[in-house]
Chains A and B, each alone.
Chain A
Amino acid sequence: MPGRARSRGRRRTKALLALLLAVGALGSITVSGTYAVMRSEETNAGSTVSAGTLTLGDTVGGGTTCLSWAAGTTGNVNGGCAPLVASSTLQYPGGTPATAEVRIDDTGSLDGSSLSVYMPACAPAASPGANANANGGNPCAEVSTNGTPSGLQLTIQETDSTWTNPKKCWYPVKATGACASAAGYATKAPNSFPLFAEYVTSASASWDLGKGPTAGASRYFLVSVLLPANASDTLQGEQATFDLTWHLTS
């Protein structure tokens, strides 16, 4: 009996110690989980970065504005805008240049930092109805007569919105005012078209037209093509089909 009592006592002691251990363990867990760590947190939520847009409108001769981002276009490039000039009026040396009024609009939210233009394609062919009399010259290539440039002329003239007040000549010489009165124009004009067609053929080799337009603004250009008075006979009965691309960067 005493032995059993001692055994019972030991069991009680063990149970008590086990309970104490359990309480201690729980206490330590509870303490670390509940009281040991204070924390604080703040979030600067909802910051936004919004990209603007840079889109272009191209209007020829007061017609419908052609948008760079219009339906059916890809990559903000619209290759289907109206042609500048048509061959309905045949040109002759020293005659009236074929001129187009081109309005370039920045229809996006970003200012255009740089406007440029290039000619990605120019293809010669015999003029309609003149096949038999075509002289075989290439209006897209430089032509000389007796060592003197005698190819097509190209002029890009910026004006105000009325098209009547020249602001700056951009090609073939860069000068304030009208191209015709710009210094060096007379010597640079012949062959200016083929030179443009040969060397200004991509966005990376485009002809700079300066800054802008700014967002929502427009710029006005007169683009003229002319057979010079000393045009080569080889260009008789020939035509040039060319593309002109306007390029705006932010």
Chain B
Amino acid sequence: MTPAELETCKTLPSVDGAGTPEGAGAVTAFWGEAAWTARDLHDAELALLAGPDDEPAAPVAPPQPVVRIRRRRGTGKLKAVLTLLMLCGVLSSVLPGTLASFSAETANPGNTLASGTLTMSNTVNSGNACFSNEAPAADNVASCDTAITFSNVAPGVSSSTATALISVKNTGSIDASELWLWAPSVTPTLTQALTQGSLVATLHVTPLATAVPKGKTIVLRYKDGGNVTHTQTFYASAAAAANDTTIGVVSQSATYSFPSGTSATTVQVLDCYDQLTSGPPAGAPNATYGTQLNYNSAAGNPMCGAVLLYVQEVTGMTPGNPSTQNYCWTGLTYGNPADARSTPAGMCVAPISVTLSSDVSGTIAALPVSELNGNIRANDQIVVTPSSGVPQTFTARSDVYAGATSIPVTSQAVGGTLTSGTAVADSSTDALGPLAKLNADNSDTLTNFDTLTDQNAPLPMPQVQANGQLEPSTTAQLPHDTTRTFLVGVYMPNPTGSNQNPLQGLFSTFSLTWHVDQ
């Protein structure tokens, strides 16, 4: 109803005519030729009560044709007026009263609803923080610094390990209930079935989310009605670009009739893959390299299947102060199987490769070293190797976690002076030492990590409350403004009796993805 209409309601005549304002049409309605008086209206009401319009009116007054005509025409008008009155009444009861009744009102203006943020940063060693919210694709998914670049590796020695400290921080305003770690994989769907026994040179799949480099391992799995999983592994024979719908593979016969278009058939393109080095490493300009040699091959990604990966949480670690929240998330742990040495909680089998931080001589009970990049168990054999002279071996007195800058050793006289900067490492001949343990490990490889820990089966990472002990899963795994730090390491083992020559001149490429959810 418009303000004008409301005004009409306000100015309608009252039935008894009392208190009506003066002015045009105020006392009378200009219907018909004569104005209606209050009395007329009263009579009309009586007439309405008495019966239909066309019934004879009660003889209240002598009938006069003119008046009757007025009365008949006026009855329709009366109905209209009454209808209008009713409408006004209804409207007045519905619409906020402005004049007709008492009223009160309060307002809560300016309500706002602001969303929080869930962003993270990623820092490798002492590098610059990489922020998810600064990703070029503006999708809060960032590609950050490479964790490890480890070249010219020989297998099975203390220098066969490389580590990186990766700090993941929630830089948003919202707690992340979950923190996940996985190896990024590509998981398209098979769009063309394979027939058992037929030669397969191409896999037809849904558009690839990302490119697939040549050589990548592609695992097909199908769980049949009998709950038996059929698996076959292929290797990309050529690179495939993002959005491609085919992947060329090294030809082989299908070992099973893998159906297409069903989630029961999964295609998993593993992350890690091998290539041959195409030039000598820095510092050895005339040395042989991968593509020159004839006894090595990247086919089948053998180095990914040999190099071991370990990820140990070291949140809170500072130089000289090891973390008290160690947890071995992936990698070999002590105690499985148990041996004659201790089983430190939360400790991965992670070799050390450090240097003396000051000169030592005389009889010593501790070795001052640069920040430990691995762990030590009590009774581990620690070898200090001068650049010239005879190596000296010490026995660790206690368990020592990564980050420590001192290794307690059984009191021993040092032959001469071992100068600052001298190499300190685990003994390669210590049967229960970390190198021997890792050399016998064929489970914690990059390939196995990729296979078991992709985005479809990520590694959940509850917070660590003490060495080897996790917080309840209900606790936010990465609260806002919180940083968690991880020691990521790789080791190239040398299994006893094996010939690792086929791995010469190969290099493996791999990635780690950290993911938080609200």
Question: Which residues in B have their C-beta under 8 angstroms from that of A74?
Answer: 294-295
- Report whether B124 and A108 are in contact in the complex, using a CB–CB cutoff of 8 Å: no
B residues 277-331 touching A (CB-CB < 8 Å): 277, 280-281, 283-284, 286-290, 292-295, 303, 307
B513 near A: Cβ within 8 Å?
Answer: yes
Given A51-B492, A51-B507, A109-B280, verify A39-B517 contact (CB < 8 Å).
yes
The segment out of A40-48, A141-149, A176-184 that lies at the interface is A40-48
Given A52-B151, A52-B281, A110-B154, verify A40-B119 contact (CB < 8 Å).
yes
Q: Smallest Cβ distance from A139 to chain B, in angstroms?
A: 33
Residue of B nearest to A52 (CB): B152
> Roughly how many angstroms separate A48 CA and B511 CA in the complex, as a whole number?
9
- Report whether A51 and B155 are in contact in the complex, using a CB–CB cutoff of 8 Å: yes
Q: Smallest Cβ distance from B491 to chain A, in angstroms?
A: 9
- Report whether A41 and B140 are in contact in the complex, using a CB–CB cutoff of 8 Å: yes
Residue of A nearest to B491 (CB): A49
B453 near A: Cβ within 8 Å?
Answer: no
Partner of B151, one of A40, A42, A48, A75: A48
B153 near A: Cβ within 8 Å?
Answer: yes
Contact flags B494-518 to A (C-beta < 8 A → 1, else 0): 0000010101111111111111111
Given A38-B118, A109-B152, verify A44-B146 contact (CB < 8 Å).
yes
B residues 144-165 touching A (CB-CB < 8 Å): 144-155, 157, 162
Residue of B nearest to A67 (CB): B288
- Report whether A41 and B154 are in contact in the complex, using a CB–CB cutoff of 8 Å: no
Question: Which residues in B have their C-beta under 8 angstroms from that of A113?
Answer: 154, 157
Given A38-B174, A39-B518, A50-B153, verify A69-B119 contact (CB < 8 Å).
no
Question: Which residues in B have their C-beta under 8 angstroms from that of A50?
Answer: 150-153, 277, 281, 506-508
- Report whether A47 and B509 are in contact in the complex, using a CB–CB cutoff of 8 Å: yes
A100 near B: Cβ within 8 Å?
Answer: no
Partner of A44, one of B174, B307, B511: B511
Given A40-B516, A41-B513, verify A216-B157 contact (CB < 8 Å).
no
- Report whether A42 and B289 are in contact in the complex, using a CB–CB cutoff of 8 Å: no
A86 near B: Cβ within 8 Å?
Answer: no
> Roughly how many angstroms separate A48 CA and B124 CA in the complex, as a whole number?
15
Q: Smallest Cβ distance from A44 to chain B, in angstroms?
A: 4
- Report whether B508 and A48 are in contact in the complex, using a CB–CB cutoff of 8 Å: yes
- Report whether A48 and B288 are in contact in the complex, using a CB–CB cutoff of 8 Å: no
A54 near B: Cβ within 8 Å?
Answer: yes
Given A47-B148, A50-B507, A53-B505, verify A42-B288 contact (CB < 8 Å).
no
> Roughly how many angstroms separate A215 CA and B286 CA in the complex, as a whole number?
9
Given A39-B515, A51-B492, verify A250-B157 contact (CB < 8 Å).
yes
A132 near B: Cβ within 8 Å?
Answer: no
- Report whether B150 and A76 are in contact in the complex, using a CB–CB cutoff of 8 Å: no
Q: Smallest Cβ distance from B447 to chain A, in angstroms?
A: 13
> Roughly how many angstroms separate A216 CA and B283 CA in the complex, as a whole number?
10
Majority-rule SS of A interface residues? loop
- Report whether A42 and B146 are in contact in the complex, using a CB–CB cutoff of 8 Å: no
Question: Which residues in B have their C-beta under 8 angstroms from that of A49?
Answer: 148, 150, 153, 162, 303, 307, 490, 492, 507-508, 510
> Roughly how many angstroms separate A50 CA and B501 CA in the complex, as a whole number?
13
- Report whether B501 and A75 are in contact in the complex, using a CB–CB cutoff of 8 Å: yes
Chain B: how many interface residues by the 8 Å CB criterion? Answer: 71
Question: Which residues in A have their C-beta under 8 angstroms from that of B148?
Answer: 47-49
Given A40-B118, A42-B130, A42-B513, verify A76-B286 contact (CB < 8 Å).
no
- Report whether A44 and B147 are in contact in the complex, using a CB–CB cutoff of 8 Å: yes
A71 near B: Cβ within 8 Å?
Answer: yes
Given A39-B140, A42-B141, A109-B152, verify A52-B504 contact (CB < 8 Å).
yes
Given A49-B150, A51-B303, A76-B293, verify A42-B509 contact (CB < 8 Å).
no
Given A41-B142, A52-B152, A250-B155, verify A47-B511 contact (CB < 8 Å).
yes
- Report whether B293 and A69 are in contact in the complex, using a CB–CB cutoff of 8 Å: yes
Question: Which residues in A have their C-beta under 8 angstroms from that of B510?
Answer: 47-49
Q: Smallest Cβ distance from B226 to chain A, in angstroms?
A: 35
Question: Which residues in A have their C-beta under 8 angstroms from that of B284?
Answer: 52, 108-109, 215-216
Partner of B504, one of A39, A42, A44, A76: A76
Question: Which residues in A have their C-beta under 8 angstroms from that of B287?
Answer: 52-53, 55, 107-109, 215-216
Q: Which one of A47, A48, A108 has the greatest number of beta carbons of chain B within 10 Å? A: A47
> Roughly how many angstroms separate A54 CA and B503 CA in the complex, as a whole number?
11
B166 near A: Cβ within 8 Å?
Answer: yes
Residue of B nearest to A44 (CB): B147
- The 6 closest A-B CB pairs, nearest first, are A50-B507, A109-B287, A52-B152, A250-B154, A38-B118, A109-B284
- Known pairs A38-B116, A43-B144, A51-B154. 10 more at Cβ < 8 A? A44-B124, A44-B166, A50-B506, A51-B504, A51-B506, A55-B293, A71-B294, A107-B287, A108-B288, A109-B284
A-B contact pairs, 6 of them (CB 8 A): A39-B515, A47-B148, A47-B511, A52-B154, A76-B501, A250-B157
Residues of A within 8 A of B (CB): 36-55, 69, 71, 73-76, 107-110, 113, 215-216, 250
